[in-house]
Amino acid sequence: MFKGIVLTLAIASVVLAETEQANLTVYTRTGNFVGGLNDTYPDVRHFKYIPYAKPPVGSRRWASPEPLDNSSEVIDSTVFGPACAQYVSAVPSVWAMNITGNLIVNYGESLLAGEFAQNSAEDCLTLAIWTPANATADSNLPVLHFFTGGGDVTGGINIPTQLPANWVHRSQGHIVVTTNYRVNIFSHPHARGLYNSTNFGMQDQRVAIEWVAENIAAFGGDPSRITIWGQSAGSGMVDTYLSTWYDDPIAAGAIMSSAFAIGYPAMSEDYDGLNFTFVAKSLGCDFSDPKVELECMRRIPAARMENFVGQYQDNSTLVNTTQSAITFTRQVDNKYVWANYTERHLEGKYAKIPTVFGTTAREFSALLPYAQDGPPEELITEDTLIFVCGAYNTTKLLDEADQSTYRYEWAGNFSNIAPVPWLGAYHYSDLYMFFGTYLIAPGEITDLEIQTAERMQDYLLDFITDPSSMASKGWPAYDVFATNGGNITQFGADGQAVQIVTGDSVEGACHIPNATYNTTP
């Protein structure tokens, strides 16, 4: 009898192991992906490397992304792929000097290297997926599809403070997807030979969303409950996306954190392709014919090109302040990036889905040129209003069109994620709370910080699960016609995890004469 029990237990163990292993292999149209379990949270399953488009290399450099063909290839998804080709600036910044963990992992490369990011490459159009470990094709979990920031020039999946394992561990009720997209000169070349075909990162975004909608059910996700979310440049992309694909957004909801199409500050106006031609000539592609110039540049190694652009930009800042700057960021083409978003709102050309718009109280404390004692307070206030008023102007238009919109302000100031006193609730710091990565930031973690992070996670989870339930969950919709402005949910201010405040108390400076803006509520 004892031998029979042992044999039964052994068989059960084998069956369990096979079941767990089977759950780590997911079959999709474009490949069979083998994932793993998170080291810290073994109840979380991850797939760190999933291609969603053909590699944008060779003749596909500076071309629209191409969907993948059918494939039954088995792909190891236990290790992150590279970020999209980018440069590690030598210019001191708060990200490199004070708050590490917010940049892509480059495995030992200095945060001020002044070199091509060694963990980046052109073959980069991949995404990563985190699910509860027990998720199956029948789970139908809501999906949060995240697009990272980086000012159109940096960013990617493998950023320690943007990894969502803690949040998925806590909820056991949702899936998070994070996506690489092309940046800098590989996304926004504005070359003469492309004839206004540009903004490739925006196009990557659409193909990634299409891939997720087609395949996420196999990972346990509900394709009818995909919420797209972006932060900073990624937020501006999401807002722009809702205007571009207004009649077919695929997504059921959208969250925009700290950058909006209205008032987006980092737009290129190089419509003659002068920056691209300057780089081309400097790299030996000195041709008057735009097509020949383009084809020559397609043969230049990515690292060489990024090093030239990045080191020239660094030199403009560090050494030669009179040197003409070159930039490669998004540009109006009236196809993926539009000249007048207010007009498009008034014409009804904006996706009719529930939205969340969020800002931080001191957006620009970390975005202004680095100074050890912090930038001037008046500049922090003035430039923070670019984002705050962008959120106000957009949500006002949506509210007037009777679209459900929710607002939040992150106003917490915790020393482990804001280690120098002048940072406060800086641009990006809300991501520590949503992703639960405040836990990896060095320093004291208070009970208030824990409570605030968990409330922030739960509020966003409620939204992606069922936006229509938000009022009953304590997050009232924004209402521009309400007394003292709409409702804004404020996190981390006044020693409270969450409270509802009036719109005028946060963004009155955007529309009330002589009103002031409070960067430290």
- Which position among 77, 120, 232, 365 bears the catalytic label? 232
- What is the Cα gyration radius of the chain? 23
109 vs 113: CA distance, rounded Å: 7
Of 473, 463, 450, nearest to 405 by C-alpha is 463
Please tell me the distance from the alpha carbon of residue 291 to that of residue 62, in angstroms, as a whole number.
Answer: 12
How many other C-beta atoms lie within 10 A of the C-beta of residue 5?
9
Catalytic residue from among 115, 306, 363, 507: 363
DSSP string over 387-406: HHHHHHHHHHHHHHTT--EE
Helix (H, G, I), strand (E, B) or coil at 156: coil
Cα angle for residues 107, 111, 116 (degrees, 5° grid) = 75
293 is catalytic: no
CB 426 within 8 A of CB 366: yes
Which position has the token pair 């529309």? 511
> Encoding tokens for residue 489?
């949910």
Nearest to residue 154, comparing CAs of 120, 191, 110? 120
Number of H helices, E strands in the chain: 13, 18
Rounded-to-integer distance, Cα 376 and Cα 243, Å: 35
Distance CA 501, CA 499 (A): 6
Q: Residues 235, 258, 427, 507: which is the catalytic one?
A: 427
Q: Which of these, 285, 296, 331, 333, lies nearest to 61 by C-alpha position?
A: 296
Tell me how far apart the alpha carbons of residues 509 and 282 are, in angstroms, rounded to a whole number.
46
Is 232 in the active site?
Answer: yes
Q: Which of 105, 375, 138, 426 is nearest to 257 (CA)?
A: 426
The tokens describing 252, both together, are: 């059921």
Q: What b/e string do you get for 219-242 counting C-beta neighbours within 10 Å, with b at 16 or more?
A: bbbbeebbbbbbbbbbbbbbbbbb
* 81 vs 156: CA distance, rounded Å: 10
Nearest to 158 by CA among 46, 59, 266, 66: 46
Sign of CA dihedral 254, 262, 330, 112: negative
Residues tagged active-site: 232, 363, 427
